[in-house]
Amino acid sequence: MRALWFGLATVGLWSASVMAATAVDSKPGKPWKHKATGVAIPATLGGLPRTGVAYYSAPEVDVSANYQNADGTEIVTLYVYRDVSGSVPVWFDRSRFYVMNLPDKYGTATSSGVRAFTPRGQRVASGLMDSFSVTKGTKTTGLMILPFNGFYAKIRASSATRDIPALEASMMEAANAIDWSSKVAAPAAVAIADCPQALAARPAAKKSEGDDASRMMSALLGGAFAQVVANKSKEAKASPPSNYCREPGSANAMSTLYRANGDLDRYMLAMGDGGTAIYAGRNDLLNEVEAANAQQGSKPAAKYTVTYSQLDRTGTYSDFEGLPLPEQAIEEVQGGAPASVATTWGKEREISIGAQ
């Protein structure tokens, strides 16, 4: 599934994600190489021939390969998309949500149980998988997600004839047909759980009324920080991976709210199931800069910032005087113009400043 669920304003270098598939020139019967990761997308997978390769938001960062038999009763789809947010448990949870909550497509889906697996070429069980008996469309369907070389890979399989054991065998055959060796060490994956402490009920946050210099500083710092993270600096590589939990009762068709390490000052809204996310939280970097530049004896109010991470760029939006409600963060991205947009993919990296 590839869905953004809402539109975005265009300003500067900002553009809405176009989720319509664009065909890639891939020669039938031969592997197709995904240059960004070096992985070879095979001509057959799970015994099924590849029928096409396509990209979505931008070349290389969001690619799919489809495999199926002649009558379409057996289908496997491989998605490869850039890791710009969340974790395997986060994106597995979002993908699993759609299987469990699309009655028009799957009827009633019965899970066989979430479990971890070790991708070929890796040393730890960094992937998660589940399979389902369904009452509509097909007989069974399954899902696998794993990390490699700064990307995620998702395998989706559906069968009109196979039971759960046979489907899982074909899924593992498909996964093991590809070498997922990775230069980026991945942690062991564990199914996500609800946060032990929910965010406290609160009123809508007030937008910050900082001066032009403050807004410019926030925009520049947001763009620069996004590019530092995207460049996978030594500091970023050395930092421990975030352990996400799910905000109780937050899952819906548009998004699910997750919090890294149970943080009560920040959250991430995973949008759809394709790797893009809205972040909202206390802006420690901006707050430190403003405190250092403040007049002696004054203490600037803490600011909270909204950002939107797409697979090839990150937009920085408004600052707030408190943690914005999720609907405020979504409204900012859906209806507002970003203060800055930083490109995070490709040879040309730019930060575009737009007036709000």
Please report, in tens digits, the pLDDT of each residue of the chain (356 residues total). Answer: 443 333 333 332 233 334 678 888 888 899 999 999 999 999 999 899 999 999 987 788 999 999 999 999 999 999 999 999 999 999 999 999 999 999 999 999 999 999 999 999 999 999 999 999 999 999 999 999 999 999 999 999 999 999 999 999 999 999 999 999 999 889 999 999 999 999 999 999 999 876 555 666 666 666 555 555 566 544 444 456 789 999 999 999 999 999 999 899 999 999 999 999 999 998 876 656 655 665 555 566 778 999 999 999 999 898 899 999 999 999 999 987 888 888 889 877 787 877 44
pLDDT at 233: 40
Half-sphere exposure of 184 (CA within 13 A, CB side): 20
What topology is assigned to 22-176 in CATH?
Protein Transport Mog1p; Chain A (3.40.1000)
CB 205 within 8 A of CB 324: yes
Q: CATH 3.40.1000 in the chain, residues?
A: 22-176
pLDDT at 223: 58
Owner of token pair 């600011």? 303
pLDDT at 234: 40
pLDDT at 51: 95
Which pTM does this prediction carry?
Answer: 0.88
State CA 24 to chain mean position distance: 22
pLDDT at 215: 61
